[in-house]
Amino acid sequence: MWVTSAAVYANTVAERIDSLKAELRQSPAEDEIDFRQFQLDYPEVLLLPEYLLPQTSQYPIDALQQLYRQAQICKGPWPVSPLVTQPLVYVRAVCRRTPLPVGWFARADYIHPGGGSYANRYVTLFPERRDELMKFFHISERPVASEGTLLYRLQTMPDNGMRSLIAGADFILVEGDLWVRSKDEYQIFAQTIWEPALANYDLHLTPVEEAEYCVTRSGNVCWKEERPSKLPYYLAIGLVFVNIIFFFGWGIYRWKSHRKIMAERMLVLQILTHELRTPIASLGLTVEGFRRQFDYLPEELYDEFRRLVEDSRRLKLLAEASKDYLQSTQGELKRETIPSLNEWLEFVCEPYEVNMSLPEDRAISVNVYWLATCIANLLSNGQKYGVAPLSLDADIYQGKLRIKIGDQGQLSAKDWSRIRKPFVSERGMGLGLTIVESMIKRMGGKMSLQGPPTTFVLEIPCEPNTSVS
């Protein structure tokens, strides 16, 4: 049962560690180890890695050199220094092939001057004695033990953990497991047990080698107080709030800037359209004057005069349509009644080679100039950049005129969001498609792309009795 209390904050770190220790003793442990038995079974020299290295600091170097030379020929004179008594006994036994009693390996302090255990060296000559001498091997010389055994834990224990265990530290952290000493016994707890308990006492532990500082240290464990500050939380909330205000203000600023720019552009367009009407009207009077004197024109100027008349008419229509567009920035564009849909479509498509499929003829109400411009733009694009033949299918359904303009290209609906962006062209189809889509929307309709084959679909309200005046 976890203990949580506000009084915990008044305790010192040492007192909270003791409380944690007491609580863990009531929790299920992975394993329990008798420390006194461990000391009997595993002397320090059979645990630490430095005892696998030559022990030259423990013996007179000249005596070792003499012993080594004589060991090669197994003859005296032998060194007389009492400090090499046990190595001398071992060398003579090896030279004479004399069995050494089991107890001798403990009395000889286990470790050979050349590093490693006497027992490990000895069984190379007497392999039949391996099992009875295995307990005198250094743990690194023994086969890897089964997982979960004490020997396996020792063989995989880091150096600082091993030294803490030898010293009998109260806490040892090994591979996520926490060793907790209680009198002469160690209990081993999994991380899933000890980690939640830390939070109850506002404690935090890390391996010593990873810690920048410690409030207190026990074994290879660095202890700290874990009193989370709310400052980072408040800073994060404040930062989010500031960002929201910033982006909201930035969005308003961009929206207002965009509206201002659009208003300025619209004003310029309105001025230009107004100013164009005067020269267009003057041009119309000039053309009318030529018309009255048509019979006096040379015959070779007839074609040029017809083109002049047609261009003058188109300029007048463009000026009127632009005036209508600029004066009605909201809602649909003004409509006009067309007595014959089929005749009008045939007239619009006359300059292009296109296969037409037309509905039963009837009168419709649309914005004549802009719809004709949209159809002509799509047919021109198809003729220039598409794959022949071009086709135009028209029908009227639920009060809407639906026109499909297609070619044999491979564009599909997934390409629409890409090619409709202004100034992003797909073989020349860029700003033109943007204009077409914009004008179709202003007429109260919608435009889409189907395919393959490439097919642009226009849907526009066309009932005469719903015209916008």
Determine the average pLDDT of the residues in 259-272.
60
Determine the average pLDDT of the residues in 365-382.
88
What CA–CA distance (Å, rounded) separates 335 from 370? 10
Q: Are 2 and 196 in contact (CB under 8 A)?
A: yes
Q: Would you put residue 122 in left (φ > 0), alpha (ψ -120 to 50) or beta?
A: alpha
- Measured between alpha carbons, how far is residue 388 from residues 41, 379, 380, 407 in Å? 94, 11, 12, 6
What CA–CA distance (Å, rounded) separates 232 from 438? 49
Question: Which are the contacts of 83, defined by CB distance < 8 A and separation ≥ 6?
Answer: 58, 59, 60, 63
What pLDDT digit, counting tens, does each position of 316-339 carry?
A: 666 665 655 555 555 567 788 889
Which residue, among 345, 343, 366, has the nearest Cα to 354 in the 3D structure?
345
Q: Give, to the nearest 10 degrees, the angle between helix 302-327 and helix 368-385.
A: 120
**DSSP codes of every residue in 428-451:** TBSHHHHHHHHHHHHTT-EEEEET
Res. 200: pLDDT tops 80: yes
Comparing 210 with 261, the larger pLDDT belongs to 210
Q: Where are the alpha helices (DSSP H) in 221-340?
A: 231-292, 302-327
Least confident range from 20-24, 27-31, 118-122, 317-321: namely: 317-321
What CA–CA distance (Å, rounded) separates 177 from 192? 9
The radius of gyration computed from the CA coordinates of the chain, to the nearest angstrom, equals 49
Question: pLDDT value at position 277?
Answer: 60
Res. 9: pLDDT tops 60: no
Q: Are 311 and 290 in contact (CB under 8 A)?
A: no
Band of residue 266 on the pLDDT scale cut at 50, 70, 90: low
What CA–CA distance (Å, rounded) separates 323 from 403? 26
What CA–CA distance (Å, rounded) separates 364 from 68? 118
Coil, strand or helix at 278: helix
What pLDDT digit, counting tens, does each position of 379-430 carry?
A: 988 888 888 899 999 999 888 999 999 999 888 888 887 777 654 455 544 4
What CA–CA distance (Å, rounded) separates 461 from 444? 7
State pTM to two decimals.
0.47
Band of residue 438 on the pLDDT scale cut at 50, 70, 90: confident
